[in-house]
Amino acid sequence: MINKKIAFLGAGSMAEAMISGMAESGTIAKENIIVTNRSNQDRLNSIHEKYGVRTVLKDELDFSEVDQFILAMKPKDIDAVLADLKDKIQPNQVLVSVLAGISTSYMEERLNENQQVIRVMPNTSSMLRESATALCPGKYTDMEQVQVAKELLRAIGEVFVIEEDKMDVFTGIAGSGPAYFYYLMEHIEETGRAEGMDSETLREIGAQTLLGAAKMMLERDESPTELRENVTSPNGTTAAGLDALNANGGGRAISEAVKGAASRSKELSKEIEGLLVGAK
Ligand SMILES: NC(=O)C1=CN([C@@H]2O[C@H](COP(=O)(O)OP(=O)(O)OC[C@H]3O[C@@H](n4cnc5c(N)ncnc54)[C@H](O)[C@@H]3O)[C@@H](O)[C@H]2O)C=CC1
Ligand SMILES: O=C(O)[C@@H]1CCC=N1
């Protein structure tokens, strides 16, 4: 068990997914997880009741007791948060950000010299401890603190330490990725319903198919291409399905989804840095 205290700044859906996974994992004691937001006490009460973690409004947080802060607000709120944190956070404390598009250097430049920061990209499967999470440390972050963050994040799934210049594409693949699979399922369910099947059964069938394919990719040595070929009998049903996918731009649509999300991640950084006209 990790004997550190962490504080979430922001208690929205991503924070809740992480809190839920961490609270269940036994990696960190629930009383060492503190959750804050600006003003929504009802939301904090609900998180406390569901997960047994400590909750306080942000202005009531005792900063001195926290080892790692986890920033989990929207990217547009980052400047206000960093300005507020600058003189409160101590050199031995670490700022871990899950914000899409916010670079480690952006945070470092707005905090005191040599501040330890870590950029992370989880996904909402954190809730079931099945996230694919990326991590990259800033320039001044101790390896020991990186290890602590890694161990904590392992409580919510698999952790990949990557170069920061890969963070945008990682966001496009894994941060946003669950949404693509849900979208796929929405269409599968819709098609099955049109053929008279009920939604509940379809959900189970679709999810089990996805889970089986995911496990095949993780546990077998074959590449996705080989696995696909094994399903595809000559002149059979899969070949017909794949032909329809190709004819309708299925492969291209998937690539474009990843590229679109990655490019939005880049764009978010520019908007925040005020380099883009019409920034919000
Ligand atoms: N939702 C997702 O699947 C993922 C989200 N992220 C990142 O997580 C962040 C949060 O996203 P969501 O949870 O979806 O947003 P959300 O809107 O559900 O939650 C944001 C929360 O932050 C709070 N907040 C804003 N300013 C604050 C401050 N100064 N101090 C404390 N709390 C503050 C808001 O009241 C709100 O509760 C975003 O930056 C996003 O890029 C990263 C990976 C996946
Ligand atoms: O949609 C977003 O911007 C966030 C970041 C990755 C997933 N959700």
State yes or no: ipTM above 0.90: yes
Whether 89 shows a pLDDT value over 70: the answer reads yes
Split at pLDDT 50, 70, 90, the class of 272 is: confident
Mutual angle of helices 199-219 and 177-194, in 10-degree steps: 140
Task: Among the bound ligands, name the one nearest to the CA of residue 265.
Answer: 2
pLDDT score for 275: 59
What pLDDT digit, counting tens, does each position of 43-81 carry? Answer: 999 999 999 999 999 999 999 999 999 999 999 999 999
- For the CA atoms of the chain, what is the radius of gyration? 21
Binding-site residue set for NADP(+): 9-14, 72-75
Q: Are the folds of 6-167 and 177-266 the same? A: no
Hey, whose CA ends up nearest to atom 44 of ligand 1? 123
Confirm or reject CATH 3.40.50.720 for domain 6-167, answering yes or no: yes
Split at pLDDT 50, 70, 90, the class of 280 is: very low
The alpha carbon torsion through 59, 63, 66, 72 (nearest 10 deg) reads 40
Mutate to test the pocket of ligand 1, among 13, 14, 85, 170 (most ligand atoms within 8 A of CB): 14
| Lining residues, ligand 2, CB within 6 Å | 100, 171, 175-176
Distance 87 CA to ligand 1 centre (A): 22
Question: Do 77 and 56 contact (CB within 8 A), yes or no?
Answer: no
Q: What is the DSSP letter of 67?
A: S
Q: CA 104 to CA 109: how far, in whole Å?
A: 9
CATH code for the part of the protein at 177-266: 1.10.3730.10
Distance 178 CA to ligand 2 centre (A): 10
The domain limits of the chain are 6-167, 177-266
Q: Using a 6 Å cutoff on CB, does residue 81 contact ligand 1?
A: yes
Q: Using a 6 Å cutoff on CB, does residue 75 contact ligand 1?
A: yes
Task: Output the pTM of the full model.
Answer: 0.94
Q: Which atom of ligand 2 is nearest to the CA of 179?
A: 7
